[in-house]
């Protein structure tokens, strides 16, 4: 029940299904198998499905070289170059000048590291998934709702629950997508779909644990269902208005 609530009340699910039914159905199937973890489902099969999902994400991503800078990034780079003072060392009466600005701001390695760090910080930001990146919307990106904001407490609760029974499968389902996005970037019309199964499962785990705490209160469960449905309709209304 909790899994289907987390799945069906996610605007991200419907966006995937409506924009590309094949990708949407595949993502849903992978999420379901990851959640159920059937005994007949070997860990290698589950990992293979994740790899296929990451290949789909890679193919649908508008990839840009890590060393490429946009106009705004070039402007920031030029501003930062003026911050570094020239440095010199005196050796046997001779001055040897160093220009650290060139090393830290203009070298390809430095640009690569900064870009990877930026991609990483964006993909692990909860605001990207629960608040459509508001108020830090990115220029040139189609920011869209992925999960209702009320799912965030369930996500945090689910993370705490997963820590108690963490396994290599769960680790790969979060680490591999983050690694991929960090290197190829976010420019994907479907979003970071490699992380979709993990987030859905974590939200469902937190929701299930919350419901179990109030197992004897059916009225509270009904109220929760109605509340989540209303929030979902609210999010969908301003997402497609």
pLDDT per residue over 112-159, tens digit each? 888 899 899 989 999 889 987 676 666 667 778 899 989 999 999 998
Report pLDDT for 223. 79
Name the residue ranges covered by the structural domains of the chain: 2-64+108-239, 71-106
Exposure string (b/e) for 24-42, b if CB count within 10 Å is 16 or more? bebbbebbbebbeeeeeee
Q: Are 60 and 188 in contact (CB under 8 A)?
A: yes
CA–CA dist 236, 241 (Å, integer):
8
Tell me the per-residue pLDDT of 155-209, one tens digit each, with 9 for 90 and over.
999 988 876 655 666 788 889 999 999 999 888 999 999 999 999 999 999 988 8
Question: Which one of 37-41, 85-89, 191-195 scores highest in mean pLDDT?
Answer: 191-195
Report pLDDT for 216. 65
Lookup: tokens for 190: 């479907």
Model confidence band, residue 229 (pLDDT cutoffs 50, 70, 90):
confident
What one-character-per-residue DSSP string does 142-159 give? Answer: -----S-TTHHHHHHHHH
Report pLDDT for 161. 83
CA–CA dist 88, 94 (Å, integer):
10
Q: Are 146 and 191 in contact (CB under 8 A)?
A: yes
pTM: 0.82
Contacts of 53 (CB under 8 A, 6+ apart): 26, 27, 30, 193, 194, 197
Model confidence band, residue 38 (pLDDT cutoffs 50, 70, 90):
low
């Amino acid at each position: 029940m909790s899994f289907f609530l987390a799945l069906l009340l996610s605007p991200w699910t419907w966006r995937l299904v409506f924009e590309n039914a094949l990708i949407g159905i595949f993502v849903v199937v992978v999420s379901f198998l990851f959640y159920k973890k059937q005994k007949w489902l070997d860990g290698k099969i589950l990992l293979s499905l994740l790899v296929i999902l990451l290949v789909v994400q890679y193919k649908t991503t508008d990839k840009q070289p890590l060393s490429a800078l946009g106009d705004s990034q070039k402007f920031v780079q030029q501003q930062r170059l003026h911050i570094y003072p020239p440095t010199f060392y005196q050796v046997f009466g001779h001055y040897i000048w160093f220009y650290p600005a060139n090393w830290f701001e203009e070298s390809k390695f430095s640009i690569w590291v900064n870009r990877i760090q930026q991609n990483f910080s964006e993909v692990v930001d909860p605001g990207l998934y629960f608040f459509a990146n508001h108020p830090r919307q990115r220029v040139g990106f189609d920011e869209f709702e992925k999960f209702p904001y009320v799912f965030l407490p369930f996500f945090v609760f689910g993370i705490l629950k997963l820590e108690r029974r963490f396994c290599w499968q769960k680790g790969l389902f979060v680490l591999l997508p983050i690694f991929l996005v960090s290197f190829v970037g976010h420019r994907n019309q479907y979003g970071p779909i490699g992380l979709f199964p993990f987030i859905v499962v974590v939200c469902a785990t937190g929701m299930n644990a919350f419901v179990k705490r109030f197992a004897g209160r059916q009225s509270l469960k009904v109220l929760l269902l109605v509340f989540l449905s209303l929030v979902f309709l609210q999010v969908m209304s301003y997402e497609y208005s």
